[in-house]
Amino acid sequence: APGELFKKGAAMGDLHVLRSSATGGCSVVINADGIIEDVSTDDDIAARYGHWSFDHKLDASGCCVLPGLVDAHSHPVWGGDRVHEFILKLAGASYLEVQASGGGIQYTVDRTRDTPDQELLTLLLQRLRRMLASGTTLLEAKSGYALNADGEVRLLRLLHQAAAFTPITISPTFLGAHAIPPLMASDEATRQVIEEQLPAVMAAKELGELSVDAVDVFCEVGAYSIAQTRAIADAAQRSGLKLNLHVDELTPLDGAKMAGEIHAEAVSHCEEVSPEGIAALAAGGTVAVLLPTTQLLLGLKAPPAREMIDKGVIVALGSDFNPNAYCLAMPTVLHLACALLRLSPAEALTAATLNAAHALRRSTSHGALRPGMVGDLMVLRAPRWEHLIYQLGEHASLIEQVVCAGRVV
């Protein structure tokens, strides 16, 4: 879209950092609507505003101020957990073996169905609070643990209700095509997503009961084929929704190639992406959302992040928070992106701010500290911003403040 901001290639490592000098610091000015007015040195700000009588001031002396983090891929609404599978996987079981033996997504679908709304909402809000404390201020959040029309509408409604209780901005994605329901043929499941689930979601959206930005499909052996994914993607595009697809995670099906060709807004995973897939993503302007927590946990091969960046793919990051990959903290994801995918810290920050916002087509409003954007930021108690990535594992005392739309949260 016109005006969309993102960075690719060498520009991903090119950050604009304002530094304090011996004579003065820097400030971000946010207006009463929560929009950034100015980011500049204090001298400039004093000259422009002629005063320092702002309504509220947050002293960040000795700290670094960064944009709020954007998590471009999460599954935060579900009941139960799968810690028993974690242990099985450590002992050598593969993701698809666990799934075939009755575990995996279907296990969580059953637990989620049996969890009352109020409890699911409480769990969701607890998870959002922990994400926020780790600096996430914009989150893509998927449904996908119901696999039928009523249940998927229920999960999207819960996301909509949660939005009223959290300062995190949520971009909801409908993932009715997360798995094939038990005893159902995959063609029937595809038909059911297109003819039952999607219309139910759109009808509830029309009534204002939920909001939905995008559609996701798990394109994988044992889930949805390329042709089935394409059929669901067509229906989504006809409904005016964006596409944000799980592709080429466990099996090289050339999902990225298909997604680039149909100009999907984003794809995730790409561990098994082909050279043609990389070329198609670059040509289609499709953002590749990489998920290093899942790669680590399932022992997958690393997606070719360096090659993607070199070939001009817009690379972003996501937590993939789900019962299989239980990580809520984007700073950990950034650390893994550097350690496992060989991104530089600057590239990782771009991937988890501006480029992740672009995966949600929100980079005109989120993902950078510049005038006109939403005042989402964090204050880091550290002498250099790279401490956000360098310090692995505990962020509570490092991230001193999180600000959403100009409000300390």
- Closest CB to ligand NIG: residue number: 324
Q: Binds 134, which of Fe ion, ligand NIG, none (CB < 5 to 8 A, cut-off by type)?
A: none
CB 267 within 8 A of CB 255: yes
Binders in 13-32 for ligand NIG, by CB under 6 A: none
The correct pick among 218, 224, 321, 385 for binding ligand NIG (CB under 6 A) is: 218
Q: Rounded to 5, what percent of the chain is helix, strand, coil?
A: 40, 20, 40
Comparison of 71 and 320: residue with beta carbon closer to Fe ion: 320
Q: Which of 102, 229, 127, 126 is nearest to 176 (CA)?
A: 229
Q: Which string of x and - marks every residue 276-305 that binds ligand NIG (by CB under 6 A)?
A: ------------------x-----------
140 binds Fe ion (CB under 5 A): no
Least gap, CB of 130 to Fe ion (angstroms): 18
237 φ, ψ (degrees, to nearest 5): -65, -35
254 binds Fe ion (CB under 5 A): no
- Closest CB to Fe ion: residue number: 320
CB 361 within 8 A of CB 243: no
320 binds Fe ion (CB under 5 A): yes
Q: Binds 244, which of ligand NIG, Fe ion, none (CB < 5 to 8 A, cut-off by type)?
A: none
Using the contact rule CB under 6 A, the part of the chain among 129-137, 254-262, 320-328, 355-363 near ligand NIG is 320-328
Binders in 41-100 for ligand NIG, by CB under 6 A: 75
Q: Binds 348, which of Fe ion, ligand NIG, none (CB < 5 to 8 A, cut-off by type)?
A: none
Q: How far is CA 50 from CA 37, 39, 46, 53, 264, in A?
A: 15, 15, 5, 9, 47
Using the contact rule CB under 5 A, the part of the chain among 5-13, 60-68, 222-230, 316-324 near Fe ion is 316-324
385 binds ligand NIG (CB under 6 A): no
Q: Binds 218, which of ligand NIG, Fe ion, none (CB < 5 to 8 A, cut-off by type)?
A: ligand NIG
Least gap, CB of 391 to ligand NIG (angstroms): 26
Quick one: DSSP state of residue 252? -
Least gap, CB of 107 to ligand NIG (angstroms): 8
| Cα angle value 290/299/267 (rounded, 5°) | 20
Binders in 155-214 for ligand NIG, by CB under 6 A: none
Comparison of 137 and 268: residue with beta carbon closer to Fe ion: 268
What are the structure tokens assigned to 74, written together?
């999460």
Say how far apart CA 8 and CA 313 lie, in whole Å.
6
324 binds ligand NIG (CB under 6 A): yes
Comparison of 271 and 320: residue with beta carbon closer to Fe ion: 320
Using the contact rule CB under 6 A, the part of the chain among 55-63, 103-111, 188-196, 400-408 near ligand NIG is 103-111
Comparison of 233 and 404: residue with beta carbon closer to Fe ion: 233
Side-by-side strand order, sheet with 69-71: 69-71, 136-142, 169-177, 214-217, 242-247, 266-269, 287-290, 315-317
Q: Which of 252, 312, 317, 250 is nearest to 280 (CA)?
A: 312
- Tell me the sheet residues that pair with 407: 404
Contacts of 169 (CB under 8 A, 6+ apart): 137, 138, 139, 163, 362, 366, 374, 376, 404
Side-by-side strand order, sheet with 407-408: 64-67, 377-380, 399-404, 407-408
Q: Count residues contacting ligand NIG (CB under 6 A)?
A: 13
CB 376 within 8 A of CB 404: yes
For ligand NIG, the binding residues (CB under 6 A) are 75, 104-105, 108, 218, 246, 249, 294, 320, 322-325
